[in-house]
Structure 1
Amino acid sequence: MVHASTPKLGSDIEKKTVLQGKVYKIKSVAELNALILKPGDKVVMQAGDWSNQQLNFKGKGTKEQPIILTTASPGKIKLTGSSNLRIDGEWLVVDGLAFADGYLDKGHVVQFSATSSNCRLTNSSVINYNPPSKETDYKWVSLYGNNNRVDHCELKGKNHMGTTLVVWLADKPNYHQIDHNYFGPRPPLDANGGETIRIGTSDWSMHDSYTNVSHNIFDKCDGETEIISIKSGHNTIKNNLFYECDGTLTFRHGNFSEVLDNYFIGNKKKNTGGIRIIGENQKVEGNYLHGLTGTGLRAAVSVMNAVENPKLNEYWQVKNALISKNMILDCTEAFNLGSGKNSTRILVPDGVKIIDNYISNSPKLTTFEDQPKNLQIQNNQLVGATLTQGFVKSTQELVKSDGVWQFKNNLKKPFWLIEKIGPAWAAARNNY
Structure 2
Amino acid sequence: MRHFCLVTATILALVTGPSTASAAQVVRVTSLSALQSAIDKAGPGDEIRLADGSYSAGSAIVIKRSGTANAPITITAEHVGKAEIKGSAGFSFSSGASHVVLRGFKLRHGGSMSVPVGSTHNRLTRLDVQLSGGGNWVTLNGDDTEFDHNVLQNRTIQGVFLQVLGPEKDMAKRVKVHHNYFSNHKFTGSNGGESIRFGLSHHQKYSAGGVVEYNLFEKADGDSEAISVKSSDNVVRYNTIRDSRGFIVLRHGDRSVVEGNILLGRSGIRFHGNDHKIVNNYVHTTADRGIVFGSGNEADSGPDSKLHDRPDRVVVAYNTVVGTTDGIHGDGGDFKPKDCVLANNILQGTGKLVSMPGGSDVKYEGNIVWGGPAGMPSGGYKAVDPKLVQDGLYRLSAGSPAIDAGVGSYPYAGTDFDLQTRSGKYDVGADELLPGGTRKALTRADVGPAAP
TM-score normalized with structure 2 length: 0.80
1:356 to 318, 322, 344: 344
Q: 1:51 to 1:169 in 2, by over 3 A?
A: same
Shift of 1:48: 4.2
User: Does structure 1 residue 371 correspond to structure 2 residue 359?
Assistant: yes
Give the corresponding residue for 1:283. Answer: 277
Q: Answer yes or no: is the 8 Å Cα contact 1:329–1:362 preserved in 2.
A: no
Deviation for aligned residue 1:394: 3.8
Aligned length: 384
- Tell me how far 1:382 sits from its aligned partner: 1.4
Give, in whole Å, the separation in 1 of the partners of 2:449 and 2:249: 27
Equivalent residue runs for 1:63-212 within 5 Å: 63-88=69-94, 89-100=97-108, 102-104=109-111, 108=112, 110-127=113-130, 129-131=131-133, 136=134, 138-170=135-167, 171=170, 174-212=173-211
Shift of 1:217: 0.2
How far apart in 2 are the matches of 1:303 and 1:354? 14
After TM superposition, give the deviation of residue 417 of structure 1 in Å.
6.6
**CA shift for structure 1 position 73:** 2.4
Q: Per the alignment, in what secondary structure is the counterpart of residue 94 of structure 1?
A: strand
Give 3-state SS (helix, strand or coil) of 2:442's partner: helix
Aligned to 1:263: 262
After superposition, give the CA deviation of every residue in 1:329-351 in whole Å (9 maximum; x if it has no partner): 001211112x152xxxx111101
SS of 1:195's equivalent in the other structure is coil
Provide the C-alpha distance between the structure 2 equivalents of 1:292 and 1:211, rounded to a whole number of angstroms: 30
* CA offset digits 1:30-52 (Å, max 9, x no partner): 32333321111011112344113
- 1:4-15 equivalences under 5 Å are none
How high is the TM-score relative to the length of structure 1?
A: 0.83
Higher alpha-carbon deviation: 408-417 or 83-92: 408-417
Deviation, structure 1 residue 365: 1.0
Q: What displacement does 1:92 show? A: 0.6
1:393 to 380, 383, 400: 383
1:5: which partner in 2?
none
Q: CA, structure 1 residues 418+162, in 2 after alignment: closer, same or farther (shift >3 Å)?
A: closer
Q: 2:393 corresponds to which residue?
A: 404
8 A Cα contact 1:239 1:262, kept in partner: yes
**Match of 1:376, SS?**
strand
Closer, same or farther: CA 33–418 of 1 in aligned 2, 3 Å: closer
Residue 395 of structure 2 corresponds to residue 380 of structure 1: no
Where structure 2 has 5 or more consecutive residues not aligned to the other structure, the ranges are 1-12, 16-22, 398-432
Per mean C-alpha deviation after superposition, the further-off stretch among 356-365 and 249-258 is 356-365
Over aligned residues, Cα RMSD in angstroms? 2.2
2:424 paired residue number: none
Deviation of 1:273 (Å)? 3.3
The one of 59, 66, 83 equivalent to 2:65 is 59
Distance 1:78 1:156 in 2: 15
Instruction: Find 2:316's aligned residue among 323, 348, 363.
Output: 323
Give the secondary-structure state (helix, strand or coil) at the position aligned to 1:184.
strand
Opposite residue 338 of structure 2, the aligned amino acid is D
Q: Distance in 1 between matches of 2:257 and 2:191?
A: 24
CA offset at residue 414 of structure 1? Answer: 2.4
Instruction: Give the SS at the match of 2:107.
Output: strand
Secondary structure in structure 2 of the residue aligned to 1:306: coil
Partner amino acid, structure 2, of 1:103:
G
Match of 1:314 in 2: 307
Larger radius of gyration: 2
Task: Say which SS state the counterpart of residue 369 (structure 2) adopts.
Answer: strand
Secondary structure of 1:237's counterpart equals: strand
Contact residue 48 and residue 76 of structure 2 kept, 8 A: yes
User: What is the Cα deviation at residue 18 of structure 1?
Assistant: 5.0
Q: 1:24 to 1:257 in 2, by over 3 A?
A: same
Q: Take 1:332 and 1:51, find their aligned partners in 2: how far apart are those partners? A: 52
Q: Does 1:28 align with 2:31?
A: yes
SS at match of 1:294: coil
> What SS is found at the alignment partner of 1:220?
strand
Aligned-pair CA distance for 1:162: 1.3
Report how far residue 354 of structure 1 moved. 0.2
Paired residues of 1:179 and 1:216 also in contact (CA < 8 A): yes
Structure 2 counterpart of 1:124, one-letter code: L
